[in-house]
Structure 1
Amino acid sequence: MRASSTSYRRAFGPPPALSSASYGSSSASSRFSAVRVLGTAPGRSGPGLGLGLGLGAASYRAAGRPGSRVTLGSAGLELSAAEALNQELLATRSNEKAELQELNDRFATFIEWVRSLEQHNAALAAELNRARARPPARAADLVHDELRELRRQLDLLGQDRDRLQLERDNLAEDLGALKQRLENETHKREEAENNLVLFRKVQG
């Protein structure tokens, strides 16, 4: 085996030696740092928008050229603006959901209150009818005082019922306006998501 190696060296000469510099340049890997991609934000009950794509600085460093770098500044600014819009829409949607839940709870409470007042009003009216139907067992003035008190309570209950119905109508209007606002914000979010998808396709 050694004899054949010696014959090879006599015929062709020694094999070329690889220097450490040429080996380092041929084996060095290209570096690309385009770092973080922001995903969806946690919700309120609801999914995030997925608009965050933060490329702060994308740099490409080739082998043998440690000083060369390409920075995508304009893309970073546009994506930062899209991320800010995403966060604003998420915050608006979370606040609107909380307000909508609060209005629904108040609306249900007022409905139960009105129902209870109507039942109490019906009970008082039945009691008044029974008192009128009974023959007078006491003095007439005592009966008139009792009837007067019952009428007063009926009037107060009627006023409370009217006030609660007015508040219920106002809450229903506020609820409708808030639902319309939520639909508008959802439409804006969908437009922003579509714009971001188009932007990613253009950049890709």
Structure 2
Amino acid sequence: MAHIHLGEGSFPLWALVLWTVLGAGLLGLVTYRVRKGGIKTNQIALAGIGAAASFAVFQLNLPVWGGIHMNLTGLVGILAGPLLGALIAFVVNVFSAALGHGAIGLLGANVLVNATEAIVAYYAFRTLMRMDWDVFPASASAATLGLSVGALLMGVIIVVSGVNGSALPRSDLAIAVAGMVGLNLGVAVIEGLLTGFIVQFLASIRPDLVPGVTRDERETTEGVTA
């Protein structure tokens, strides 16, 4: 949902290096955990479907205040887990940047934003399910929370970095970005509700595809699932 749509050269060099290093560090940690823990066959298939759906929805952009859209990262995180969810966010951003949807230089920043959405949504969903929430409110709330955190992180990254060539003082830039973040928070609620309906439907026909739905999984206190 949240995504930095600025063009190449919009961020100063130090900011590009910072966000790229942080993004690469996150992906390196995720890759290490995936290789250490392994991946089940059904998770690979689910990750592929999730990446395709996220990429397709990601390209439906509304040219409002820099561009807004849905990307299903909350849904991907809930179904695929935090590790595969982060990798899917990276893949979707790479292909999107190749099509001109987001600058290649901002891959690190955008991966941080979208991977955070997937990770927060996953852990929020598992926590709410262990608290005996029903599937729909748990998944809708978790996705909305994840997307909201991503929107806020996007705003922080832009304000901290600044925008090359902008005549706005940092305080005015913060105000403008706050408006964009607020718009994205509204979209987060809509995408959260959509995610809730999808997860509820999947849980009713294929509960094995939704981690944390069964009673045994609700009582599990495992750390990270790939």
Q: How high is the TM-score relative to the length of structure 2?
A: 0.24
Q: How high is the TM-score relative to the length of structure 1?
A: 0.26
